[in-house]
Structure 1
Amino acid sequence: MKTIRYVLWALVAVAGFGLGALSLDLFGTQQTVSGKAAIGGEFSLVNHKGERVDQTIFKGKPSVVYFGFTQCPEICPTTLLDMAGWAEALGTDGDKFNYVFFTVDPERDTPEVVADYMSAFDPRFIGLTGTPDEVKTALKAYRVYARKVELDDGDYTMDHTAAVYLLDAKGDFFGTVAYGEQQQNALAKLKRLLPSS
């Protein structure tokens, strides 16, 4: 009887190990560096003022980062309005953050288009764009999903990651704020990025 029980437990263990290995194979392993998710890296883009910038814009201040596109009908403008609301709700602490918008649609989002779009939100917002290859490099570095979706009328839209990324003052990934997350939860996350007084 004990032998049968041991054999059954061994089979369960082997099956569990096999499923774990299969899930890693199917979904890929998440790389980590020093216990942190390997999200972020080098990029070279143009801001909405036409200036060339790179990942060093994240150094010195925590950052609130969103990846979207200017012709997004709902999710992108809603999220950017949420970000502006967080900045306002934080009061003077709102100035202690970078607020950065990366386009996932470089074909249409030129620096001029991004500049016009940013003007509808908060003056502290920085908009970034570049060539398709430059944007692709940035999206890959930050593990952002973006895909062009053709529409019946010959136009297209973009399917993309909708979460807001939070980076610490070193530019390291800290966490995310989900689309539609309650403001109090988002503010609590942002406050954890502020230096303790």
Structure 2
Amino acid sequence: MSFVSKISSTENPPLGRRFPEAFEVLDLNFCRNPAYENYDMHPDPFKRPGEKPPAPPAALRGEVSSKKHEEFFRCPTCNKTSRIKNNRAIAEKYQRLKHLQEHDPAVPSCKTPGCFAQGMAPEAHPEFYRRFGKTVNADPRFQCRLCSKTGPAPVSFRSGAHVKRPFVRMPRGFSSPRLSVCGAGCRSH
């Protein structure tokens, strides 16, 4: 026979959250209307059915309404809605984009995991690379001086390297003195 502990009706059950928890120091769920005094004020994050236990006196309550995958917070002062954000997802996306800005994956560099020159282009750090023969297309190859792996040359070192300009289609009848080859006198009427 199993014994189940009896939950007393006088104890308050643990409160459920209506907002995601702050991740590290990041919490983006607040009133975003700078014209009111509640701007940047974080609302009470807990569901309080029947207001038991009551919210702290200075806490902003507001209303949280939701549709499927769309949850909104309505500020009680300004009546403006703002979408509820997942703090962890935004912090992870920020870190991913920051890493892409610092290390361009398209730049040819040493691909050996753990190599100090990994992610450093031969153009920016020639001290880590040496020219090492040519490819089948007669483009120069480079060798990492630290781990001795070879790889293709960056585009600027390749023979016949050029940047392909994008094709821009102009609407009919469009002419501009800046875009036209012969100036303002080329306009057809």
Higher RCO (CA 8 Å, separation ≥ 6 residues): 1
* TM-score band, normalised by shorter chain: under 0.3
TM-score under structure 2 normalisation? 0.24
Q: Which has the larger radius of gyration?
A: 2
